Structure 1
Amino acid sequence: MNDYHFTVQPGEPLNRWVHTDLTIAPYRSEKAVFDHPVNITEEYVQIVYPGRQQFLDQRLKEEVLLPETDFHHIYFPFENPRLEFSAFIPTPHLLSVYGRTFIKPDEGGAFPFTVSTCGSVEIWVNGSKQLSWTPYTRNLASHKDITLTLEEGFNEVILYMDDLAERDVNYFTELRYTGQTALEGYIKVPASPEQIEQAERLLTSLYFSKDIYRSGRLEVYMNREEASGIEELFVNVNRNHLLNPVFDSKADDELDAFDFSFNVSLDENGFQKLMSVDDLSSNGLLQFDIGVVLPGGVQVARRMVASILTNDDPGQSFSDSLPERKQEILEFFSQSEKLDLNAGFSLIHLNGKVDEQAKRHIRSCFDEIQKKGDCADFRLAPLLGFTIKYQDTIPADFHEELKELAVNFRYWIDEPGNDVMWYFSENHALLFHVSQYFAGHLYPDTTFSVSGRTGREQYEKGKERLEEWFEVFLKYGYSEWNSTTYLPIDLIGFFSLYESAPDEHIRKLAKEALDFTFKIIAVNLHGKTMSTTYGRVYEHDLKAMEMGETANLAFITWKKGKLNTAMRCTTLFCLSSYEPPTLEDYFIEDASKALVTQYKQGIKEVYTYNYKTSSYCMSAAIRFNSYKKGHQQHAMNIALDQDNTQIWINHPGEAVYSGENRPSFWAGNGISPNITQYKQYMFLEYRLKEPFLPYIHAYLPFWKLDEVREEGNWLFAKKDDAYIGLYFSNGYELQEKGAIAHREARSYGAHHRVIATCASEAEVGSFKAFVEEQVNAAILIDSHRWSYATERAGTLQVIDDQLYANGKPVEYDAGYEVEEEHISIPQFQQ
């Protein structure tokens, strides 16, 4: 064994550890009922399930002892300041792990640290326990200032952490040193420390050549100077089934089958081909563990993510008739190679029978429903709706399998259970109520095993809950406003009810909700998808919008989106007789026209302001949650051209580039900005505070951009005939190294003001002219007012958070109905 030495400077984290096996054990609590209202906002809410309370009652009585197992896994943190194993597990599991490191002060004494966790932490120094802390604040980090008594010389530090995983779990401990002098440290490693350091430098330099691949080569860039003596990399590819299953509907057995590993010899140039995109048989967000095997068998690896979109072109043209196009799309869906419930629906509809292939597709979701895994309601609701509509086609033996699923499911928290399914968000509540309503209708005389109710009672209860849900929804709209992640989930319920509800008034409510939703999609449609502000979002959504269901819906509905294999609500749309109202006025194709739309959504009255032309689209949630802690809200967005080139600014919620936290590095905001907008001019102000990261940043998909130009505090980009300018009051740095290389413009500081503006060639002529106009803009900033002025824009001022355009206050007074204004844009004259 060798000593791998490191230094911990004041203010830095102690994140070098060797750890035991990570224990992941199923947790089964006593079944119980409980009561809690549905969350009618998009915010994160903390709800203690009975199973968690039982875990806490038991765990807080236990004494944690030093481990008897070996420490044989080296933790490679890269950019992560924490010892972290965050994940998504759809059923309850206990997580625990021990870590060990050695640290040496200049002399003995008490040394201060800040420890952060969402679960529990125990710390021993030289065999003596110095900390036992059990905040158990589930996914919300708690922070505690502590002192560790260290002896002169090296001290063995052992850390233990545990938590109960309920769906998404932020499972980490951060130990940040807050002393005045540096600490020396080391960990025991069975390899050359110099070789480990070299491998880490090489892997730190890696970045993908793009964030979404459709064809060609999957490539990473590396610093070849760090590769001396390293001849090959290993790559483990694992479809990320621990991400929120809102992304995925594959069966467990197929997920396992998709995992594979391979080695690749290093090329001589800076770009390293990992594999052909065509070799990846699945669409979606994939994790790539890329690493080096050192002499002695030590594996040094880092995790990176990229999205894959293949097999999205069936090589045919589609009818201009919506009913005919729906059938053609079902043919495309039915050819899916992956096991998918909706491919089974398509096959049954097209063939008029339930054959073995269709059964395999449909059974792929049975395990999730039987285990009551989180998001099982996403599968059960459409499955029961399909069963109602096609009950004469389904054979008796398969009917019995479906009935077994339905009568043994838990439909709400007033029924005893020990699962951790999430019931309380807008979309989940809807689908649980739809499932209960359908199940009760299908099996009225059967006693349901979990609740003890008859089907007839379940039907009445489900109908009552649906009526209450729609009463709120049709008054306030989406609490998770404009969300391209969760809007399609609500559509699963709407389409299912529209086609299969036994009550006419429920079908009418579903149609009203469908009409509203398609209007929201049309209003925000730009660049083949919804380009706007979102109430809930994930990194996957932002970077690969063309893979989402709203892009697919837009293609099916208007041939204006992007055909893909996101099949859940889109399959139900194609199976339905529903046709949306005429919405073409919301599509802008004339370069001399612009559309301004404004509306509120949710009980919190979140205000969407959207300005779009044929060349770009700018959207903001006006004055939403200003200067407060954020979650997964995407507060602003800018889209250039028509191929889903998305640019946004956010305050990262964690340091890990593609981590599991909410908010994450790219999705959501640690601290929310204050935003105002007038036409194509947007003003953002951030006031950051501890313990959050001290910078904001902009996402730049460099592989899509024709040109990026830096001019002082201004950052400019060009995409075809669309231009964008971003002014950072604190300046910025384009990142050139690591997984975020060329994608990130980072601006440091606690107080930021940012101006964002767009224009097109038709408006201002050349990109050079646009840059010159913005560089010469008059920008003044003081403590409570800031202003921007050009000849074309006039003078725009923000005074105490109020925006003024040429001296007149900009009012945001739209209601829950979409207000629209069509504008003629002055055209550039040579």
Structure 2
Amino acid sequence: MTRWRRGAMLAGLLILAAATAAAAVVTVQDLRANRAVEVSRSTVANATDTGETALLQRLAAGGQADTADLAPSLAFIDAHNDCSDFRLATLLRARLAYGSAFSQEAQARLKRTLVAFPYWMDVKGSGGPMVYWSENHQILFAQAEFLAGGLYPAALFADGRTGADHRAQARDRITFWLDQRWRFGFSEWNSHYYLEDIAALANLADFAQAPEVSRKAEIILDLLMLDLAGRSLHGEFIATSGRLYENNAKTGDEAVRRVLRHAFVQRQAPGSAHGLEINLFLSRYAAPPVLAAIAADPGAAVIRTSTGRDPGELAADRALADPERRIMAQWGMEAFTNPEGVSQSMRYIRGHGLLANPFLSGFRQLNYRALSPALPWLSRTLDLPTNGTVLGRADVYAWRTSNLVMSTTQAHRPGGFGNQQRVFIATFGPGLTVFHSHPAVRPGEPPPNGNSPGYWTGSGRLPLSCQDGPVNLSLYRLPKTPGFGRKTHLEFTHLYAPRARFDQVILEPTQLFLRKGEAWLAVSATAPLEPAGPDEIIQRGRETAWVTEASSARAETFSAFVARVRANPPRLDKGVLAYRAGGHPLTAAMAKGCARDGRPLDTAYPRHASPYAQVPRDSEAIDIAFAGHALRLDFQAGTREMH
């Protein structure tokens, strides 16, 4: 190794170490001393904040728009606030669908904002506090630029290019984004950020004025709706997810429920919307009948899906030879500092002057050209906490009945840093869930990656979590120290179970039994369970295990279920978690993964495998059929055939 390379590595270590506070171990006693601290909640800025939803509702009812109606939204956008793209989606629909209802002054005022806005990271002025790169933001910004360019094709935008130029550039990003979703699904799997995707896709379906773009947007909307239909229950959608905040995991999202009602039950009036879902309510897009039939299916079903891909797969993809597309794919899966992508991140940030963006300012610590060759080594050796933001490939298992959905992202980076991932959750219906995690911080403390992971949002360290039928095994192994770049280390895991909302609760030293209607759930631990409030149960230790088993009145009485599970406690011996389910031994071990009957559990799934569809990864066409309805999607041909 040359002298300069050794020096670069040493410099990198010193730079990163200087940014890291001293580690400290936090015990359960420390936590209890801070119980009075309010648990911080991560929220997503909603489109109702600046009034464009109410404006669109008024226009849909025959009203008019003047400059005063636009002022709050345009002031927000002109300041380049994060989530400006949320507002743009609804404003563009208002202008394109009801332009004749805008006064001349309102049209001129909106045009000034649209031609001055920086729609992508390569535009001067894009260094403000806006996130462009996550999966949902990519399509929101691209559809806004595409539609604005179409509105004013001859106008000169702030960067000196015409609207037609912007439309062509945005079309390239849109078609690439749509192609990625067709090939690999959503990196932000089962996330409530689907709302943002839906708004952008509905706008493209209605206003693209390019048949290929419109049809492909509808096809991707169909695939998103298939995700919602297959994992929803009684109008609720809370499932294992790549990005799920505390409030969404605990109580769901009313806007998502409105989308479910609109798509699968009855079209909703625009007046019932409170945010971005209004773009769907006013869209010509309608979910195919087969998806409504799936959402209403009262039978039991196992649904296995695979979505996304791991960062190591990107280098071999010829479609990513262009640096812009590579960064879209990489940052769309939140891969910034991982060994496979940190060099590309630094080159792109440096090349586009993005260190001024506050969300990327941390890269200033790495902005030393002599350090560049050592960045992958540093990322791998130090195991940077920001590597935990990577979403990567997700193989999702869902066990769905008429009264419970239990879902797991199988063996998802066990033992690694987490961020907003929720790898296991059981949902009983609207706003009622049970899940466990490793808290990353004390209640009320600021999370390490902006708004995550927190006390209930995501996980500090991810478990080995596997599901087989109605049984989930989750094994947490926490290191002795919090790891490079983390200040605190909570040596326990905890369960969220709002016990007052269940019809019957039995809490024993190492087991919890819950009954809700005709759904039964048992949670068994390998260490004593300690209630820490009405909704929380703690299990101490650096190695903890949670075994969750579900059943229902269709299979057995609640008392029989309790007696059966009580007589079958899990065992954790020498790092191996063992449990017997349905006559089959199940095991989970960090080094070997999960097994059934001594054979490795298959956790690498096709794109979709369920009673409704059998789809391999990278399929040319997708066929969905159920209850006398069928849908065939062909992305390259741009066709969606319903039967």
Same fold (TM over 0.5): yes
CA offsets, 1:99-144, max 9 Å, x none?
xxxxxxxxxxxxxxxxxxxxxxxxxxxxxxxxxx99699xxx7224
CA offsets, 1:624-650, max 9 Å, x none?
11100000111111012x333111001
The one-letter amino acid paired with 1:613 is: T
Say if 1:645 and 1:243 are closer, same or farther in 2 by CA, change over 3 A.
closer
Shift of 1:562: 11
Q: Aligned partners of 1:821, 1:746: CA distance in 2, in Å?
A: 39
Q: Which of 322, 339, 348 is matched with 2:59 structurally? A: 348
CA contact (8 A) 2:37 2:444 kept: no
Q: Which of 185, 191, 198 is matched with 1:491 structurally? A: 198
CA contact (8 A) 1:528 1:644 kept: no
| Helix, strand or coil at the partner of 1:142 | coil
Shift of 1:425: 0.8
Corresponding residue for residue 621 of structure 1: 409
Shift of 1:747: 0.6
Q: Aligned partners of 2:266, 2:478: CA distance in 1, in Å?
A: 39
Is residue 2:525 matched to residue 1:819?
A: no
Q: Aligned partners of 1:725, 1:554: CA distance in 2, in Å?
A: 29
CA contact (8 A) 2:228 2:237 kept: yes
The one-letter amino acid paired with 1:797 is: T
Corresponding residue for residue 574 of structure 1: 281
Q: Aligned partners of 2:423, 2:586: CA distance in 1, in Å?
A: 21
Shift of 1:205: 6.1
Matches within 5 A, 1:600-749: 600-604=306-310, 605-640=393-428, 642-657=429-444, 661-689=451-479, 690-691=481-482, 692-735=489-532, 741-749=533-541
Q: Which of 545, 564, 572 is matched with 1:773 structurally? A: 564
Count, aligned residues: 499
Corresponding residue for residue 543 of structure 2: 751
Corresponding residue for residue 540 of structure 1: 247
Shift of 1:778: 5.4
| Helix, strand or coil at the partner of 2:415 | coil
More helix by share: 2
Shift of 1:807: 5.0
| Helix, strand or coil at the partner of 2:588 | strand
| Helix, strand or coil at the partner of 1:608 | strand
Q: Aligned partners of 1:443, 1:588: CA distance in 2, in Å?
A: 44
Q: Aligned partners of 1:644, 1:651: CA distance in 2, in Å?
A: 22
Matches within 5 A, 1:31-42: none
Q: Which of 297, 301, 322 is matched with 1:595 structurally? A: 301
Q: Aligned partners of 2:204, 2:16: CA distance in 1, in Å?
A: 43
CA contact (8 A) 1:527 1:561 kept: no
Matches within 5 A, 1:18-29: none
CA offsets, 1:6-50, max 9 Å, x none?
xxxxxxxxxxxxxxxxxxxxxxxxxxxxxxxxxxxxxxxxxxxxx
Say if 1:572 and 1:675 are closer, same or farther in 2 by CA, change over 3 A.
same
Q: Aligned partners of 1:526, 1:815: CA distance in 2, in Å?
A: 23
Q: Aligned partners of 2:25, 2:463: CA distance in 1, in Å?
A: 30
The one-letter amino acid paired with 2:565 is: Q
CA contact (8 A) 2:267 2:281 kept: no
Say if 1:362 and 1:758 are closer, same or farther in 2 by CA, change over 3 A.
farther
Matches within 5 A, 1:375-524: 375-417=83-125, 418-449=127-158, 451-484=159-192, 486-524=193-231
Shift of 1:814: 2.5
| Helix, strand or coil at the partner of 1:773 | helix
Q: Aligned partners of 2:396, 2:65: CA distance in 1, in Å?
A: 47
Q: Aligned partners of 1:560, 1:624: CA distance in 2, in Å?
A: 36
CA contact (8 A) 1:659 1:665 kept: no
CA contact (8 A) 1:521 1:550 kept: no
Give the share of equivalent positions with the same residue, in percent. 23
Is residue 2:262 matched to residue 1:556?
A: yes
Q: Aligned partners of 1:421, 1:728: CA distance in 2, in Å?
A: 43
Q: Aligned partners of 1:703, 1:479: CA distance in 2, in Å?
A: 35
Shift of 1:730: 1.9
Q: Aligned partners of 1:728, 1:636: CA distance in 2, in Å?
A: 15
Q: Aligned partners of 1:806, 1:623: CA distance in 2, in Å?
A: 18
Say if 1:470 and 1:743 are closer, same or farther in 2 by CA, change over 3 A.
same
The one-letter amino acid paired with 1:512 is: I
Q: Aligned partners of 1:674, 1:361: CA distance in 2, in Å?
A: 51
The one-letter amino acid paired with 1:347 is: R
Shift of 1:597: 0.2
CA offsets, 1:387-432, max 9 Å, x none?
2232233332211111011011111121111412111111111111
Say if 1:561 and 1:615 are closer, same or farther in 2 by CA, change over 3 A.
farther
CA contact (8 A) 1:588 1:612 kept: no
Name stretches of at least 5 consecutive residues in structure 2 with no aligned partner: 1-13, 27-31, 311-392, 483-488, 614-643
The one-letter amino acid paired with 2:81 is: G
Matches within 5 A, 1:139-218: 142-144=20-22
Q: Aligned partners of 2:267, 2:431: CA distance in 1, in Å?
A: 10
| TM-score normalized by the length of structure 1 | 0.56
CA contact (8 A) 1:716 1:723 kept: yes
CA offsets, 1:318-376, max 9 Å, x none?
xxxxxxxxxxxxxxxxxxxxxx312211211121x4156xx655433111101000110
Matches within 5 A, 1:255-294: none
Shift of 1:554: 0.8
Corresponding residue for residue 246 of structure 1: 45
Q: Aligned partners of 2:278, 2:420: CA distance in 1, in Å?
A: 27
Say if 1:527 and 1:666 are closer, same or farther in 2 by CA, change over 3 A.
farther
Q: Aligned partners of 2:42, 2:438: CA distance in 1, in Å?
A: 22
The one-letter amino acid paired with 2:56 is: F
Q: Aligned partners of 2:608, 2:297: CA distance in 1, in Å?
A: 24
CA contact (8 A) 2:195 2:276 kept: yes
Q: Aligned partners of 2:266, 2:37: CA distance in 1, in Å?
A: 36
| Helix, strand or coil at the partner of 2:514 | strand
Say if 1:530 and 1:801 are closer, same or farther in 2 by CA, change over 3 A.
farther
CA offsets, 1:659-680, max 9 Å, x none?
6640111110000111111110
Is residue 2:77 matched to residue 1:369?
A: yes
CA contact (8 A) 1:586 1:595 kept: no
Give the aligned CA root-mean-square deviation in angstroms: 3.0
CA contact (8 A) 2:47 2:86 kept: no
CA contact (8 A) 1:492 1:572 kept: yes
The one-letter amino acid paired with 2:190 is: N
CA contact (8 A) 1:628 1:671 kept: yes
CA offsets, 1:38-78, max 9 Å, x none?
xxxxxxxxxxxxxxxxxxxxxxxxxxxxxxxxxxxxxxxxx
Q: Which of 220, 230, 236 is matched with 1:529 structurally? A: 236
Shift of 1:589: 5.7
| Helix, strand or coil at the partner of 2:196 | helix
| Helix, strand or coil at the partner of 1:249 | helix
Q: Aligned partners of 1:177, 1:436: CA distance in 2, in Å?
A: 48
Shift of 1:523: 0.7
Shift of 1:818: 4.4
Corresponding residue for residue 795 of structure 1: 585
Q: Aligned partners of 1:524, 1:489: CA distance in 2, in Å?
A: 19
More strand by share: 1
